[in-house]
Structure 1
Amino acid sequence: MLNDRIPAAIVVLGTGAIDTARRIQARYPGSLIHGLASRVQGDVAFTELGSHMRELYARNTPIIALCAAGIVIRCLASALAHQLADKTVEPPVLAVAEDGSAVVPLLGGLGGVNVIAREIAAALSVAPAITTSGELRFGTCLLNPPAGYVLADIEHGKRFVSDLLAGAPIRVDGDAPWLDTADLPRAEHANLAIRITPYASEVAGELMIHPRCVVACLTALSSEDSIVERVGETLREHRLAPMSLAAVLAPLSMMASASLAAAAQALDVPLRFGTLPAGFETLGARDDGIMIALSPRPVDPSTLGQARGTLTVIGLGPGSADLMVPAARHALTQADDILGYETYVRMAGPFAPHQVLHCTDNREEMQRARHAFELASEGRNVVVVSSGDPGVFAMAAAVLEALDQARDNKQWTAVGLSIVPGVSAALATAARAGAPLGHDFCMLSLSDNLKPWAVIETRLRHAAQADLVMAFYNPVSRARPWQLDRALDILREQRSGSTLVVLGRNIGRPGETLSTTTLDKLHSSQVDMRTMVIIGSSTTRSFPRTDRDGDWVYTPRWYE
């Protein structure tokens, strides 16, 4: 029942619930375990339960909380009372006992929470605590039809179910196979009816359920408002309910149209590109480039042509899950393919079973970028991962260079490209140390693999003369152990030996270390490729931390 594209958050507060959480995660492999950072190691860390739960709820994320139901209610009700009143928009929310002995659906009756409760209960070999009157009486939730169908009017539906619970008989008009085993009080000539049809109707006493079996086919572009208006007019001409619309289909040549994408979003249906497959009844084409196609059964949009592929370049941050920006995590959950240097790809997990990993050597950036565009041009959602920030000595530049070199490739240029920032190694190290980048600074890579060493020396001299704080990436390697010492010699020509230096190794990862030294004491033997080196300016200063665990280092935002 859970949508693989919107993985559930399995919220865990203590180690005693981990075994139960893993059993639930095995039932929903795309879901992530959200662990309270001070107590348990999960896939996603959080520090404050209430705010984290409210954020998940606001993002429409299904929540499976392994704690008391009262805790969940207090966390959500305090700030979301206005949302809780609208049953049509809430995500499924369940409370599960830590030991798996109880499964309690709390919110999201129209989002299938009772179905999820039954699935989890079956996985845990317990009975779910379902209290919904209609579902207990009839064995199904009449207001929550299966995928491919939509209820026309929830308020009318509530009154309809109330009448049924009061003993009124019912008839079913149309194809509703999910109701075949429901324990409904059926009567051939009953006044109350469940009608399954794509056509609009306002007959009293009917519960209207629309199969999503209508496709709007476009052959001409216009503004977003015009497209929405034209589709609406065409549906009305054929007496079709707007809720029966399953997708908008357009030619491949329109794939990069922003107005078309916005219109599909306004219509709240998927946008697909290609030609209409066999099996549809076409209801006539209008002069304005709109044609309606009707299928005898609900349409799975994924069977229509292809989606517009997306390519998202993300930064994972320095390594710890709590320093990855939410937009990067969201892009990963939506991805079909994840590409990158193997070390970074593994850091980006866990992954859902359908996701494909493409791990390559760290020196294959252009090949990786081109491969990403090829995958995305097939309609796939592709993510390219970098550590830190993707625009700082990382994959964003390679992806843009690949696109720049292929500007005549219409398939590549039609891909939806976005770049999500991350916390760079320099920023993460600076935050651990205090604020050494508090004034003007620059970032320099000491690797001469992609630029001549002479260029590096020139930039070092100018940065030193300008009194900029400097953050060094790629400071040393086995192939070039001498370059950091040469860089330091250049800096010592301009900077005092007492200039403060911050060394951060594996910041945000297991075994991180942070130390402060001075320019005259720094030597390349103290540094490796996992070390971020921050050279202070003439104004950078330090003072002892109150916990006596090293110093705070900062660069004031002014000069004396």
Structure 2
Amino acid sequence: MKDTHRPAVLVLSDSAADLGRRIAGIVDGELHGARARVTDADRYFDMAKTHIQVLFAEGRPLVAVMASGALIRLLAPVLSDKHSEPPVLAVSEDGASVVPLLGGHHGANDLARLLADGLSAHAAITTAGDLKFGVALDQPPAGYRLSCPANAKAVMAELVAGCSARLIGTAPWLSHSRIPFDDEASVTLTVTDKTKTADELELVYYPRTLVLGMGSERHASAAEAIVLAEQALASGGLAAESLAAVASIDVKADEAAIHAVARHFNVPARFFPAAVLEAETPRLKNPSDVVFAEVGCHGVAEGAALAAVGARGELVVEKIKSKGATAAIARAPSVIDPQAVGRARGTLFVVGIGPGSDGWRSPEVSSMVSQSTDLVGYSLYLDLLGPLAQGKARHDFDLGKEEARVVHAMELAGEGRTVALVCSGDAGIYAMATLVFELFDKGGITDAASRIEVQVSPGISALQAAAARIGAPLGHDFCTISLSDLLTPWEHIQRRVKAAGEGDFVIAFYNPVSMKRRTQLAYARDELLKYRPFDTPVILATNLGREGETVRTVPLGALNVDDVDMLTVVVVGSSESRTVTTGDGKTWVYTPRGYSGKAESGMKG
């Protein structure tokens, strides 16, 4: 997953960072800073050229605080199709000038105007149509879709040459522009929610005024639902491009068929409580007592469509049925903001932020946190997000409140929010992901929370971080064991330690000690000494990736429990693990992938 719609604001030095942060606030962007010269950014990069070209290839809007010539030279090798270019803007370091370089009609001009207003700067817009008419005909505002972008160049050329246009339909952004209108003009601008083939000198704009209401049986066929939705549009002669949303009742928030239809039309799915749909009963064309008995309202498809378009809207396609689904379409009197219609299916991102430093946090996790409205986690973990947490609602929990933390995150998502449940290391290794699915399995959450979408993203675990810092101790078979007997009976832990010792696994011990628990690690040391040598290397790694990081190696036989605290991960080598000292005097630990005494290692890349 990549957050390709959020602008990346690039700065190359601390002197430009304050301006970059202001720009990021204005455009809801993410501040990217050169690692060597910027101390506070949301993301860091090492090579400006590579980073900028990768973002451009991903379609990410770019706002760079740097000279426009330098930015052009960096991007020149990857320029190809102007129709697929994302917005690219250069901002002078004094913040006085904003220059849209690429993607003017793909949002760059609009971003330039937004920044000019926010920074009291000058937007150096050079696009002819924008300058002369105040609009970009090939880049209509939010809520409108252009059906025939290939015609835009010829239409704009005619208008710039002095021709007038004929306006069919209504759109305030066109009627309030500086375009001269004449009912007899050869150029036509058409605004309609009906399917239409554009003439040579015609641009057809579809306003997002339609909502497709849908109901379905549980586990209905997605293909069947899509076919039914297409039939509903065809029966009314309506354009799919005018759909603003797919709407249904909230008990269908996790219905795969409903979401498949929304993805098919590339619109959001929105949901309403039964009581809201029941209030639409007087406007229904096909009320049903059977439906009321099942879900508490007299019509799902028609009711959801009408609830979405509001009191001034109208039903334009009555309910039609297939074997497992129903569909209806309603029209609003003006463009619909789908985010203001009902509510979304809530999303819970379960993310592992690794040890906490941004360099060890995956881009996917950063993207998920950026998309979230709410952050839930242990206070220290939320603090480690730094600027990435700004503008988010924080829900801080103390250690020891794990289940309450997870329930709260799921209930927030059940309200339609996008929530990040933040864990250190990897979310699925001794962390919160397990509790999420346990609550799905055993209950303990509301019906709304049980219908949320869950995505789990991996993070760098403590054992991976420790291994990387000390070399390659996990080069052969390894396992992890938690020494905490808070949730696991001590006799089970003893059995696992013994089995790992007999199996000669490299072992990463999590939760090795606590304030009250000091004997388990000593037991593990003594048990493992039955199976491996006194001088087996043991890695003690504390505060990995954070301030105060320490990583050292001691022999297993000399492991002192008092040298270990709650923030330490203990990695015990196998009987095959070795140490080696390089020319700089640093001692490394590795576990060969071959077996001792084997003529050929059989190592593979």
Answer whether TM exceeds 0.5 for this pair.
yes
How far is the alpha carbon of 1:10 from its aligned partner? 1.1
Q: Does the Cα contact within 8 Å between 2:42 and 2:388 map onto a contact in 1?
A: no
Change (3 A) 1:111 1:510: farther
How far is the alpha carbon of 1:26 from its aligned partner? 3.1
Distance 1:161 1:474 in 2: 67
- 2:206 corresponds in structure 1 to 210
Question: SS of the counterpart of 1:98?
Answer: coil
Question: SS of the counterpart of 1:137?
Answer: helix
Moved more, 392-401 or 138-147: 138-147
Instruction: Work out whether 1:551 is the aligned partner of 2:587.
Output: yes
How far is the alpha carbon of 1:131 from its aligned partner? 1.4
How far is the alpha carbon of 1:96 from its aligned partner? 1.9
Distance 1:512 1:408 in 2: 39
- 2:335 corresponds in structure 1 to 298
- 1:258 corresponds in structure 2 to 256
Distance 1:134 1:320 in 2: 46
Change (3 A) 1:408 1:105: closer
How far is the alpha carbon of 1:408 from its aligned partner? 9.3
How far is the alpha carbon of 1:53 from its aligned partner? 2.5
Distance 1:500 1:49 in 2: 41
Distance 1:154 1:223 in 2: 34
Supply the AA of the counterpart residue of 2:459: G
Moved more, 297-306 or 93-102: 93-102
Q: Does the Cα contact within 8 Å between 1:406 and 1:412 map onto a contact in 2?
A: no
Change (3 A) 1:412 1:517: same
- 1:225 corresponds in structure 2 to 223
Distance 2:521 2:403 in 1: 27
Change (3 A) 1:559 1:31: same
- 2:101 corresponds in structure 1 to 106
How far is the alpha carbon of 1:56 from its aligned partner? 2.6
Q: Does the Cα contact within 8 Å between 1:46 and 1:322 map onto a contact in 2?
A: no
How far is the alpha carbon of 1:352 from its aligned partner? 6.6
Moved more, 223-232 or 132-141: 223-232
- How many residue pairs get matched? 551
Instruction: Work out whether 1:279 is the aligned partner of 2:312.
Output: yes
The share of aligned pairs that are identical, in percent, is 41
Question: SS of the counterpart of 2:258?
Answer: helix
Change (3 A) 1:227 1:530: same
Change (3 A) 1:496 1:203: closer
How far is the alpha carbon of 1:156 from its aligned partner? 0.9
- 2:9 corresponds in structure 1 to 10
- 2:54 corresponds in structure 1 to 55
How far is the alpha carbon of 1:556 from its aligned partner? 0.7
Question: SS of the counterpart of 1:498?
Answer: coil
Supply the AA of the counterpart residue of 1:233: Q
Supply the AA of the counterpart residue of 1:559: Y
Question: SS of the counterpart of 1:190?
Answer: coil
Change (3 A) 1:124 1:258: same
Change (3 A) 1:445 1:334: same
How far is the alpha carbon of 1:349 from its aligned partner? 4.2
Distance 1:76 1:533 in 2: 47
Moved more, 269-278 or 157-166: 269-278
Question: SS of the counterpart of 1:520?
Answer: helix
Instruction: Work out whether 1:437 is the aligned partner of 2:470.
Output: no
Distance 1:203 1:418 in 2: 42
Distance 2:560 2:110 in 1: 63
How far is the alpha carbon of 1:542 from its aligned partner? 1.8
Deviations 1:271-312 (A, max 9, x none): 122333133211222243221111111111123322211222
Question: SS of the counterpart of 1:431?
Answer: helix
Deviations 1:109-140 (A, max 9, x none): 23321111122233333212211111122222
**Match among 240, 250, 267 for residue 238 of structure 2:** 240
Moved more, 128-137 or 454-463: 454-463
**Match among 341, 346, 349 for residue 312 of structure 1:** 349
Deviations 1:332-370 (A, max 9, x none): 122122111111122234357653211111211111222
Distance 2:496 2:486 in 1: 16
Instruction: Work out whether 1:499 is the aligned partner of 2:536.
Output: yes
Supply the AA of the counterpart residue of 2:558: K
Change (3 A) 1:20 1:546: farther
How far is the alpha carbon of 1:502 from its aligned partner? 1.5
Q: Does the Cα contact within 8 Å between 1:340 and 1:358 map onto a contact in 2?
A: yes
Question: SS of the counterpart of 2:224?
Answer: helix
Q: Does the Cα contact within 8 Å between 1:195 and 1:209 map onto a contact in 2?
A: yes
How far is the alpha carbon of 1:540 from its aligned partner? 0.8
**Match among 556, 559, 562 for residue 525 of structure 1:** 562
Instruction: Work out whether 1:361 is the aligned partner of 2:398.
Output: yes
- 2:366 corresponds in structure 1 to 329
**Match among 191, 199, 203 for residue 194 of structure 2:** 199
Distance 1:519 1:247 in 2: 62
- 1:140 corresponds in structure 2 to 135
Q: Does the Cα contact within 8 Å between 2:246 and 2:261 map onto a contact in 1?
A: no
- 1:152 corresponds in structure 2 to 147
Moved more, 410-419 or 151-160: 410-419
Question: SS of the counterpart of 1:286?
Answer: strand
Q: Does the Cα contact within 8 Å between 1:501 and 1:534 map onto a contact in 2?
A: yes
Question: SS of the counterpart of 1:201?
Answer: coil
Supply the AA of the counterpart residue of 2:508: A
Q: Does the Cα contact within 8 Å between 1:5 and 1:334 map onto a contact in 2?
A: no
Distance 2:441 2:427 in 1: 17
Supply the AA of the counterpart residue of 1:123: G
- 1:270 corresponds in structure 2 to 268
Change (3 A) 1:337 1:408: closer
Supply the AA of the counterpart residue of 1:177: P
Change (3 A) 1:525 1:287: closer
Alignment of 1:14-163 (within 5 A): 14-28=13-27, 30-41=28-39, 42-79=41-78, 81=79, 84-87=80-83, 89-163=84-158
- 1:392 corresponds in structure 2 to 429
Distance 2:224 2:138 in 1: 33
Deviations 1:205-264 (A, max 9, x none): 332222100111122365333333332332233222221111111233332222332221
Q: Does the Cα contact within 8 Å between 1:505 and 1:530 map onto a contact in 2?
A: yes
Question: SS of the counterpart of 1:231?
Answer: helix
Distance 1:340 1:63 in 2: 31
Q: Does the Cα contact within 8 Å between 2:439 and 2:445 map onto a contact in 1?
A: no
Change (3 A) 1:408 1:474: closer
Question: SS of the counterpart of 1:308?
Answer: coil
Deviations 1:1-21 (A, max 9, x none): xxx994321112222321221
Q: Does the Cα contact within 8 Å between 2:102 and 2:108 map onto a contact in 1?
A: yes
Question: SS of the counterpart of 2:138?
Answer: coil
How far is the alpha carbon of 1:464 from its aligned partner? 1.9
Distance 1:74 1:426 in 2: 43
Distance 1:372 1:296 in 2: 37
Instruction: Work out whether 1:173 is the aligned partner of 2:142.
Output: no
How far is the alpha carbon of 1:164 from its aligned partner? 0.6
Distance 2:359 2:50 in 1: 15
Change (3 A) 1:50 1:265: farther
Supply the AA of the counterpart residue of 1:280: G
How far is the alpha carbon of 1:203 from its aligned partner? 5.4
Q: Does the Cα contact within 8 Å between 2:254 and 2:452 map onto a contact in 1?
A: yes
How far is the alpha carbon of 1:77 from its aligned partner? 4.5
How far is the alpha carbon of 1:266 from its aligned partner? 1.8
Structure 1: runs of 5 or more not aligned: none
Deviations 1:2-54 (A, max 9, x none): xx9943211122223212212212323x4221122233232112223334334
Q: Does the Cα contact within 8 Å between 1:5 and 1:333 map onto a contact in 2?
A: no
Deviations 1:146-195 (A, max 9, x none): 21112221111221111111111124333322245532233353332322
Distance 1:247 1:445 in 2: 47
- 2:290 corresponds in structure 1 to none
Instruction: Work out whether 1:460 is the aligned partner of 2:459.
Output: no
Alignment of 1:445-456 (within 5 A): 445-456=482-493
Q: Does the Cα contact within 8 Å between 1:38 and 1:47 map onto a contact in 2?
A: yes
